[in-house]
Structures are given as structure tokens and as C-alpha cells.
Amino acid sequence: MKKRIFAVLLTAALVATLFSGCGSSNNGAANTDGAAATTAAETIKIGTISPNTGSLAAYGEAVVNGINLAVKEINAAGGVLGKQIVLETLDDKGDPVEGANAFNKLADEADVCAILGSVTSGVTSGLASLANESKVVLLTPTATADTVTDADDYVFRACFKDSYQGRMAAKFAAEVLGVKKVAVLYASGDPYSAGLREAFIAAAAEFGLDVVAEESSSSTEDTDYSAQLTNIAGSDAEFLFAPYYYSSIGPYIVPQARAAGFAGVIMGADGFDGTIATMVDDKSLYNNCYFTNHYSPDDTSATVQNFVSAYTTEFGAESLNALAALAYDAVYMLKDSIEKANSTDRTAIRDAMSGMSFSGVTGSFTLDETGTPEKSVAIIEFKDGAAIWNSTLGN
């Protein structure tokens, strides 16, 4: 009899443990700020997907930090609809297959009301159709490829898209720098890089820029660009548009361009954010380099400075980049949508998010019919190893 009583008590304890952990980490990856002791009925569960390991792990770190900071603030202020947010955070390793597996896992969990992610356009593009099939909101903080979002579906973003970002790069080259002859280096196999190349070349014609050289690599993870950059240096280009990620720009493209004799402007897009961490010893090589970005931590507005202060207090300054700010904004966008819907129903959240107006760290905007904001672009300049706010552009 004692053994039977002990077994019943043990079973009850295990059941209680399972329910108290509902909405928490799978594989030890989730964050449950402020909600460790709550039950599923008292929580709102959000899934997140990001590259937490691999060559783009710095992006994943920033995005996860930004999400966690926002959730911590929201939970401390009473949560959403009187409930605490819990997160289930999965790693896509920067790989589309891993991303799809992570998405399917989250979408199959009935208590996951929405999914934040992923970070790169290459992964997120493959998740869009899955989101529409599952009828669950996929809100990417940072995937900028135009093809990520479409009209009247379940996919939204907190960032501007590449066609807009590429156009602003061309506008900066023509109207601010006053250059005439430009070159392009891009990764043909990457949706992000290829989309930016297409947008920049289209806008170059609009702004009177002459594309005198164009070179490509197969991916954004190549390490040797010397042949392409030698050809560009041999042209009479004054400006090179190179839409790659920080992991290629910092250690490879910029130093190899300078070694090939190209002394002109090198400009990229938001993928350059994080380059400082990968610069070679001679920081002067990066002078005369710029990139378009979603915000600048140098912006003196109270909204930006409050975020910068809170983030650096919690995580330090090293991982503070625009992706962290976009992820932070994305959580608040989702909070606003759940509150407007007064529900955690997936379709109700989607309907509330469609066409929403929002003001956050990375700007004020209204989502267009594709679920994409159009907002101002910060131009960031590298100077003696530091990234400084150069200017802000809009249409």
C-alpha cells in the first residue's frame, strides 16, 4: 500500500512539474522572464527562430537579446492581457532546412500564438509559405528581401525591404557623395544580396549613376574575392556597392578591395552591421565605407536612448546593433496586435497586425498591404574603426 501511495504522489508531482513548465524551453533554449512559476493558462507563448550558432551567430545573439529585453519589460509592467509572455527560442543555424524544422515544431504547438523570425532572408523566405499554410503570424524583425512578404497573408516584418534600401544606397551615392561611376559585387546565390543588387542597379539608372563593372560570388560565405575585386579596381569606378554580411565584409571584402588597389567608397546594406567585430588590425582600411541601416544608437531621441541604456545595462554594448533594436520593436508590435485583438487567436492577431501603425526605436510607420514598413534609413559610416551616424535619408 505504501508503494502504491508513493507512486501516486510521484505521478502527481511529475504532472504538476510538467504543467508548471508549459511554455518553457525545449532543448534548454527558451527564455521565460517573469513567468517561471506560471501555468499555461496564465501565459502567452511566443516562438522565436534565429541563427544562434554558426557564422551568423552574432545576429542571433542580438535578436534574442532584443526580444528578451522587450519581454522582460512587458512582463514587469503586467504582461499582455494580464498574462506573462513566455518564449520558446529555437536555433536555425542560418540554414533554411533547420529553419523550416524549427517553424514546423512551433506551429504544431497549439499554445504558440505567433512566431518571431527568422533573421536572414534566405531562411525566412522558406518560412513564408509555411506560415500561410499554418495560419500563424510570422513576424520577422530583420529579413529584408522583397519576396519575404506578400499581400493579405500571415507574414509581416519590422524592417524596410531591400528594394527601398537599395534605392537609398543609390540616392546616397548620387546626391550626397556626388559620384558618377559605380561598381557592384554581390552573391548570386543569396536572396538578400541578389535582391539588393537588383534594387541598386534599377535605382542607379534613376539617379544617373553609370554601372561600369559588375562581379559576383556564388555565396555570401566565400573568403576569396580577390579576382572580382581586381577587376573592379581596374575599372574607373569611384564607388563599390557590395551587399554582403559582416562575416564577409570585415575580414575579407574590404581588406581585399584595398589590397587590389580600390581606394573608392565601399557601401553595403544592413548586413554590414557588426563588421567592427570582424575588422582586421588596420582599421584605416575601412575608412570611406558606409552602409544603410534601420537606426543609429547615436540618435538623440528619448526612445532610442532609453533602449540603448536598457540594452547596454542588460547585455553590454558589444552586441548592440540594429537587429537588436528591430527585434525589440517586433515584440512590441506583437504586443500591440494581441491587445488590439484582445485575443491570442492566431487569425485575430493577424487581422489586428494588418495595416497597423507603430512607433518604436527604429522609427514610426504604418505597414503597407504586404506587411512591410517604409521608413527613414540611417547612413552609418566607418571611421578609424568606429561606426558613426552620418545622415538619415527618406524618399
Cβ atoms of 380 and 293 within 8 Å: the answer is yes
CATH number (3.10.20.600, 3.40.50.2300, 2.40.110.10, 3.40.50.1100) of 2-160+302-375 reads: 3.40.50.2300
In angstroms, rounded to a whole number, what is the distance separating the alpha carbons of residues 116 and 322? 16
In this predicted model, which residue has the larger pLDDT, 77 or 17? Answer: 77
Q: Global pTM?
A: 0.82
**Residue partners of 371: CB distance under 8 A and separation at least 6:** 149, 153, 155, 156, 157, 353, 354
Cβ atoms of 358 and 336 within 8 Å: the answer is yes
Q: What is the pLDDT of residues 153-202, one digit of tens each?
A: 999 999 999 999 999 999 999 999 999 999 999 999 998 999 999 999 99
In angstroms, rounded to a whole number, what is the distance separating the alpha carbons of residues 250 and 14? 50
Residues of the chain with pLDDT > 70, as a percent, come to: 89
Q: Identify the residue whose cell numbers are 527560442.
A: 89
How does the average pLDDT of the chain come out, rounded? Answer: 90
Whether residue 5 is predicted with pLDDT greater than 80 in this model: the reply is no
Q: Where in the chain is the domain with CATH 3.40.50.2300?
A: 2-160+302-375, 163-293
Name the CATH topology of 163-293.
Rossmann fold (3.40.50)
DSSP character string of 264-327: SEEEE-GGGTTGGGG--S-GGGGTTEEEEES--TT--SHHHHHHHHHHHHHH-STT-SHHHHHH
Angle at 279 between CA 278 and CA 285, to 5 degrees: 155
As beta bridge partners, residue 214 has 184
Confidence at 151, pLDDT banded by 50, 70, 90: confident
Q: What is the pLDDT of residues 54-105, one digit of tens each?
A: 988 999 999 999 999 999 999 999 999 999 999 999 999 999 999 999 999 9
Q: Is the dihedral of CA 323, 327, 333, 334 positive or negative?
A: positive
**Residue partners of 139: CB distance under 8 A and separation at least 6:** 114, 115, 116, 155, 156, 157, 158, 330, 333, 334, 353
CA 87 to chain CA centroid, nearest Å = 18
Q: What is the pLDDT of residues 202-256, one digit of tens each?
A: 999 999 999 999 999 999 989 999 999 999 999 999 999 999 999 999 999 999 9
In angstroms, rounded to a whole number, what is the distance separating the alpha carbons of residues 367 and 356? 6
Q: What is the DSSP letter of 83?
A: B
Q: What is the pLDDT of residues 321-336, one digit of tens each?
A: 999 999 999 999 999 9
